[in-house]
Structure 1
Amino acid sequence: MAATVASAATAIKGTHYRIVKLDACGNPVTGTGSLVVVSKGFVQVTMEPQYEDGEEFFERTADGTPCVNQKDDPVLKRMQLQIQLCEINTSGLSYLASARELTVNGAGVTGTGFAIAEGSPTNRYSLEVWQRVAGSGACDPSGLQRYIYNAWPNVGASKVGTYTIENGRSTLQVTSETQAASMTPTTGWGDGPGSVSWLPSGESVHTGEHWLWNITTTAPPTPQVNPLTLS
């Protein structure tokens, strides 16, 4: 078996994010009723892995000598994500927060805001974030710009964070949790929603995976104020 040749890159900054609407099973929604939001209007995305500590077994003999001293490995349960937005896309935020989008004359064409009601969040989405590669590795040998592609294929349980109105800029935070990606044949997350993939050729999400990180020369999608549909 041939040895794998590893790549290396130094990630810096964040350039774009993309949100894609999923159904309750974590499958990307296509056609009418789908939603794709691409934007540069974020301050940061923070990921904090959530682990269940391994069970510890420790027992002494009657004279106090350790008899059993063993601890199970921790188990990764999920990732907690926090998105800090400086530009509010009304359609995107409404979906993330499981809120109602306010539209002109209720026609659903031009969104102007949102209304958040009590209750549990139900909407699920995938989140993709692109970063630049810093330093001498910013381009590949052929001169193409390299990017870092982050993907969390199945995200939900979203909570809106603190919103401060003051003599300064206002940002809005959304905290969400990941689940394992959908493995449904043909409609699952696969190598990413849409016709363009930022994963290597032949790669796709595997059972139990929550986060994908990849070095790519495929440029990020173009930011759009208006939501797009997914075909």
Structure 2
Amino acid sequence: MTTSCPSFLRGTAMRVTRLDACGRPVYGDGNMVVSDGFVTATLSAEVQEGDAITVTKANGQTCINEPGEDQLQWYTTQIEFCAVDPDLVQIMNQSWDKVVDAQGNVIGYNANGSLSGDGFALEIWMDVYGTGDACSGDQAQGEWGYILLPWVKGGAPGDIEIGNDAISFTYNGKTKVGSGWRRGPYPVQQQANGAPGPLLQPIGSNTHYRLFTTTIRPPEPECGAQPVDRPTPEVAELTITGVPGETPRNTVRLRADNHGFGPVVINWGDGTAETIASDGAYITHTYAAPGTQTIQVRDQQTPAVSVSKEITVPLPADEPGLTLSADSPENRYAVTAAITLPKQASGTATVDWGDGTDPVTVTVGADGTVSSTHTYKAAGVYTVSVRRSDVETYRTRAAVAVPVQASPTVTAEEDTTDATAKTVKLTWDNGTNGPVSIDWGDGSAPVDQTQTGTATHAYTTNGVKTITVTSKANPAASTQATATIPFP
């Protein structure tokens, strides 16, 4: 991995795209303008200073002086134009209407009193100075600086001064987080196969702007609004759970995230009518009979883009399964988490080991299970937490004492003093870990014993008996032995 450290100079092109109320691109005619008629574009950070904590002692000296953490609120954008495109102005200020001539050509706009609108996305390209990798890759077209403001609200006009000089027009706005831009509808970055494509990483929910260098040529400036073509979407991401409290769990609750590309069609796999669901909306379906079902979700406009998910009805519990153990007798600080995810889950989970280290993401296999091992640095009792990656509210916790106690050693053999061959002689050793509890496996009450010893037990029924010896201090540390009654 290498790091690019370019120097930027002069702006070369600007693109403004109309957004909807969720900050998503609006597809279709008249929703985008590419212009090179701007003079400057200024981004000014608006930062709220954090509250400092200051405490003064009785003698006048400072006891506590802790500065607060500043918070970035937004960026104020100021764009100065020397060539005004009425369509561009109308996209920035959707409440301003266009002025047309007798032939229907757009010749201006009305600056109305309202500044309402859903906002716009702003992209600006810049030249890169002295680059040596401008044509790296077969599909590279040069190198440019690229800055994206995925959601700008308002296009408030600035002052207009008309005199014996060039006249410029200024418009101001504010960035907003929570954009639905995602990867965007335009080819702005080289993909893994070298072809031009959308952003490699989607825009996050807390992003004000993104800046990087690209080898994809900027679009050509053109006066007037142009269409925004709907790209081929990626497959929808499915979130599937059951309904809390339902018995049996025959109802599926499904959410299809179609990345802002609109409705999806759901085939539930049981022969019932297909369902059309809004992008990102939850919808439920109840199956009439138990069994394995395959749900297929496809994009309504591009049906070839589809994804399938196999589930089991009734649904198993939505929470992950978690069992902790020590698989390495030589290292009692190493703990293994055996994790199980239900079929309806996405297949990935996040493991927090409870010791301040970064959580890790694990992926289950075809059987829905995976093991992950972690070595602790210090002794103590830790709470391990496993969350489903698709629905983080579903999690499971378990505590483990480190170093992990080894399980007792156990030996079961015949008590030869019993002529009926129905008495077992049990020997156990729990090291230095304290008393044990013995379950003889025949329905009798468990008995408590010292940490090391020998005991006998007479059975009254025949068959294979499973004897369990459990450490009283750590119920997870247990060992089983079997005895066939009567003994051969």
TM-score scaled by structure 1? 0.88
Tell me the equivalent position of 1:177.
Answer: 174
The change in CA–CA distance for 1:139 and 1:173 in structure 2 (over 3 A counts) is same
- Paired residue for 1:189, among 152, 176, 181? 181
Matches within 5 A, 1:134-153: 134-137=129-132, 139-141=134-136, 144-153=141-150
Q: For 1:64 and 1:199, locate their aligned partners in 2 and report how far apart those are by CA, in whole Å.
A: 62
1:113 and 2:108 equivalent?
yes
The change in CA–CA distance for 1:16 and 1:174 in structure 2 (over 3 A counts) is same
* Kept after mapping to 2: 8 A contact 1:181/1:205: no
Q: For 1:28 and 1:95, locate their aligned partners in 2 and report how far apart those are by CA, in whole Å.
A: 12
Q: How many residues align?
A: 219
* Kept after mapping to 2: 8 A contact 1:9/1:137: no
Tell me the equivalent position of 2:6.
Answer: 9
What amino acid does structure 2 have at the position aligned with 1:44? T
Question: Between the two proteins, what is the percent identity of the paired residues?
Answer: 25
* Kept after mapping to 2: 8 A contact 1:95/1:123: no
The C-alpha deviation readout for 1:6-63, integer Å capped at 9, x for no partner, is: 111000000000000001221110125x510001111010000111101111111111
Q: For 2:204 and 2:119, locate their aligned partners in 1 and report how far apart those are by CA, in whole Å.
A: 19
The C-alpha deviation readout for 1:43-93, integer Å capped at 9, x for no partner, is: 010000111101111111111121111012111111110000010001111
Tell me the equivalent position of 1:214.
Answer: 212
Q: For 1:5 and 1:88, locate their aligned partners in 2 and report how far apart those are by CA, in whole Å.
A: 41
1:62 and 2:53 equivalent?
no
Tell me the equivalent position of 1:83.
Answer: 79
- Paired residue for 1:159, among 156, 159, 174? 156
- Paired residue for 1:37, among 29, 33, 37? 33
Structure number with bigger Rg: 2
**Structure 1: stretches of 5+ with no match in the other structure:** 183-187
- Please report how far the alpha carbon of residue 207 of structure 1 lies from its aligned counterpart in structure 2 after TM superposition: 1.8
When the two chains are superposed, the root-mean-square deviation of aligned CA atoms in Å is: 1.9
The change in CA–CA distance for 1:141 and 1:31 in structure 2 (over 3 A counts) is closer
Which structure 1 residue ranges, 4+ long, deviate > 6 Å from structure 2?
none
The C-alpha deviation readout for 1:116-149, integer Å capped at 9, x for no partner, is: 1213332410000000001244725568521000
Larger strand fraction of residues = 2
Answer 1 or 2: higher relative contact order, Cα 8 Å, separation at least 6: 1
Tell me the equivalent position of 2:398.
Answer: none
Q: For 2:191 and 2:164, locate their aligned partners in 1 and report how far apart those are by CA, in whole Å.
A: 46
* Kept after mapping to 2: 8 A contact 1:47/1:81: yes
SS state at 1:120 partner: coil
- Paired residue for 2:88, among 89, 92, 96? 92
Q: For 2:155 and 2:136, locate their aligned partners in 1 and report how far apart those are by CA, in whole Å.
A: 41
Q: For 1:230 and 1:52, locate their aligned partners in 2 and report how far apart those are by CA, in whole Å.
A: 36
Q: For 2:54 and 2:38, locate their aligned partners in 1 and report how far apart those are by CA, in whole Å.
A: 47
Larger helix fraction of residues = 1
What amino acid does structure 1 have at the position aligned with 2:120? Y
TM-score scaled by structure 2? 0.43
Q: For 1:63 and 1:203, locate their aligned partners in 2 and report how far apart those are by CA, in whole Å.
A: 56
